């Protein structure tokens, strides 16, 4: 049922209007009375009526004053002025207060009925619109949460990229990963703890948060190179321990770009948090000493490290790449990396890089028609004579002979 308030200092006016409304709209309204402006304000505070009939001249607080106060409490109610005073100034002020109609007494039954029918139609329409807006907002929140989960799962290696791209785009391109591990495990508290972590971080940084699983949450935080990551993590750790009422530890990855970079940062953060044996600590991957134990954790976490190295070399073979530099890239000691690379590829690091550069040089001379000297510089060699010796060692012919042979075929 709808709620309707009649505010008038004349009891007969109130009762007569109520009788008229109840006969025209049986079992449609719950009707309340107010004999002056103050009572009308109190009734609105208590009942929040959908429709208000308000007289202007009443003892104490006048009708227009009461409407001004009511509008502070309830902006949605439909207010109708029902008065014997036909003054333009009253009508003008009533319009400024959002009054729907200005009806002069004595009002005819048909006039009141048509007015209420119009108001009920408006109220029904507005309620339906609000319901649609709430439903749409709920769906948007669900989609945003689903999208956030999808992207964090992608960056954690739990979902393929095609599946994640069916949701909305990732919010940022550059940042770092943080893995937060809680000391306690309680299924009944999981959702509450997850929400606390999200609120603590999202109030301070733009980020994507994974669900809490096996006492861990992955956080992907937008950041630039100058970001003070360690101090933020230490501050966050204290906030989380206070809010969660338990100890926490945090592992932090390096700042990287794109999906592949953030995936790598997550693996670094996971390695770092695994290294920390005690709680109430935050540690960056760069501060994790490289030991056999850490290397084994890192290999296990990152899957096929050699695939990452091969991809890195194919993108950077033209630069002065060293074994030490690549070992640091995958967070392994040069000694351990060298052994692992030889075991997985059957070649030493230098042999692999050399063969890669020579194959690229052959491709450049064959497909792009580059001279020997041009190909030499393009693949990372600085001395054409040295390049020629290496080329002949690998292919059993000089680069000039290779180029001539290719030209003859063409």
Q: pLDDT per residue over 45-91, tens digit each?
A: 999 999 999 998 888 888 889 999 998 998 889 999 888 877 767 76
Q: How confident is the model at residue 2 (pLDDT cuts 50, 70, 90)?
A: very high
Q: Is the pLDDT of residue 270 over 90?
A: no
Same domain, 93 and 191: no
Using the structure block, give the residue that is written with the tokens 């994790």.
288
Is the model more confident about 17 or about 135?
A: 17
Report how many domains make up the chain.
3
Instruction: Find the domain containing 257 and state its range.
Output: 171-288
Please report which helix (H) or strand (E) contains residue 352, including its range.
helix 349-367
Residue 85 lies in a domain: yes
pTM exceeding the 0.75 threshold for the entire prediction: no
- Residue 299 CA: distances (Å) to CA of 136, 285, 344: 45, 14, 13
Q: Rounded to whole angstroms, how far apart are CA atoms 225 and 229? A: 9
Residue 93 lies in a domain: yes
Residue 141 lies in a domain: no
Three-class secondary structure of residue 179 per DSSP: strand
The string of pLDDT tens digits covering residues 196-219 is 999 999 999 988 888 888 899 999
Residue 219 β-bridge partners: 178, 209
Angle CA(348)–CA(354)–CA(358) in degrees, nearest 5? 145
Helices (H), 223-290: 229-244, 258-275
Q: Rounded to whole angstroms, how far apart are CA atoms 265 and 255? A: 7
Residue 166 lies in a domain: no
Integer Rg of the chain from CA: 37
Same domain, 282 and 365: no
Whether omega before 106 lies within 30 degrees of 0, making that bond cis, reads yes
Residue 254 lies in a domain: yes
Same domain, 365 and 284: no
> Which residue among 107, 136, 154 closes a domain?
107
Q: Rounded to whole angstroms, how far apart are CA atoms 239 and 211? A: 19
Residue 283 lies in a domain: yes
Looking at residue 277, the DSSP 8-state letter turns out to be: -
Is the model more confident about 275 or about 12?
A: 12
Same domain, 190 and 279: yes
| Domain CATH for 405 | 1.10.10.60
Residue 265 and residue 227 in contact, taking contact as beta carbons nearer than 8 Å: no
Q: Is the pLDDT of residue 187 over 50?
A: yes
Residue 204 lies in a domain: yes
Q: Is the pLDDT of residue 170 over 60?
A: no
Neighbours of 25 (CB within 10 A): 17
Residue 218 lies in a domain: yes
- Token code pair at residue 49: 């009526």
């Amino acid at each position: 049922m709808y709620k309707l308030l009649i505010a008038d200092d004349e009891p007969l006016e109130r009762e007569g209007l109520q009788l008229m409304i109840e006969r025209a709209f049986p079992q449609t309204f719950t009707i309340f009375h107010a004999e002056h402006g103050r009572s009308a304000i109190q009734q609105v505070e208590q009942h929040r009526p959908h429709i208000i009939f308000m007289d202007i001249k009443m003892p104490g607080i006048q009708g227009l004053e009461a409407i001004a106060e009511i509008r502070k409490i309830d902006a949605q109610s439909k207010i109708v002025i029902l008065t014997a005073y036909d003054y333009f100034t009253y009508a003008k002020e009533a319009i400024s207060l959002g009054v729907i109609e200005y009806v002069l007494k004595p009002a005819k039954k048909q006039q009141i009925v048509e007015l209420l029918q119009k108001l009920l139609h408006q109220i029904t329409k507005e309620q339906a619109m609000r319901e649609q807006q709430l439903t749409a907002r709920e769906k948007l929140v669900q989609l945003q949460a689903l999208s956030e989960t999808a992207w964090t799962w992608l960056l954690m290696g739990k979902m393929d990229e095609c599946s994640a791209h069916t949701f909305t785009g990732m919010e940022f391109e550059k940042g770092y990963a943080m893995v937060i591990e809680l000391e306690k495990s309680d299924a009944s508290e999981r959702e509450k703890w997850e929400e606390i972590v999200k609120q603590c971080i999202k109030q301070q940084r733009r980020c994507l948060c994974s669900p809490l699983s096996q006492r861990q949450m992955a956080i992907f935080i937008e950041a630039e190179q100058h970001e003070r990551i360690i101090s933020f993590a230490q501050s966050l750790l204290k906030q989380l321990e206070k809010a969660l009422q338990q100890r926490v530890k945090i592992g932090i990855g390096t700042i990287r770009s794109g999906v592949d970079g953030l995936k790598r940062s997550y693996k670094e953060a996971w390695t770092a948090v695994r290294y920390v044996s005690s709680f109430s600590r935050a540690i960056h991957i760069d501060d994790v000493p490289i030991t056999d134990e850490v290397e084994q954790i890192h290999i296990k976490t990152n899957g096929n490290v050699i695939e990452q190295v091969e991809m890195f070399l194919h993108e950077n073979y033209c630069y002065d790449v060293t074994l030490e530099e690549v070992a640091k890239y995958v967070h392994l000691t040069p000694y351990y990396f060298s052994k692992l690379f030889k075991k997985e590829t059957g070649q030493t690091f230098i042999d692999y890089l050399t063969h890669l550069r020579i194959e690229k040089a052959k491709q450049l001379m064959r497909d792009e028609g580059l001279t020997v000297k041009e190909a030499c510089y393009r693949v990372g060699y600085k001395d054409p004579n040295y390049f020629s010796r290496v080329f002949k060692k690998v292919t059993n012919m000089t680069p000039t002979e290779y180029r001539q042979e290719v030209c003859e075929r063409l």
